[in-house]
Amino acid sequence: MKNIVSIITFTFITMGFNACGNGGDASFKDGLIKIPVTIECVQSPTTTDIDTYISLQGGDTIVKDEDNTTISTYHDTDGVKKICLVSGSAHIVR
């Protein structure tokens, strides 16, 4: 199970992260907001734990704020993609 989570995490990081190149807060177009990813992952999450993770919406972009950032993804019972923070710092641009 740990290997599967690691593979999913690696795949997600490879596909989903966009580095913030200016080192500071980005200027957002009208209507976009910055949502900090502050909910830490639980070692062996239950359905209840996953329900507390941050739900992603279509068009969301996950941005890592530090080089050592790791995010894990899960799907809840309704198929909604959820994320939590393993290490580092990140935010969502919505």
Phi then psi for residue 30, to 5 deg, are -55, 130
Domain boundaries, the chain: 2-19+29-93
Beta bridge partners of 36: 91
β-strands 70-75, 34-37 pairing? unpaired
Residue 61, amino acid = T
51-94 pLDDT, tens per residue? Answer: 999 999 999 999 999 999 999 999 999 999 999 999 999 999 99
* Number of Cβ within a 10 Å radius of residue 12: 17
pLDDT tier, 31 (very low <50, low <70, confident <90, very high otherwise): confident
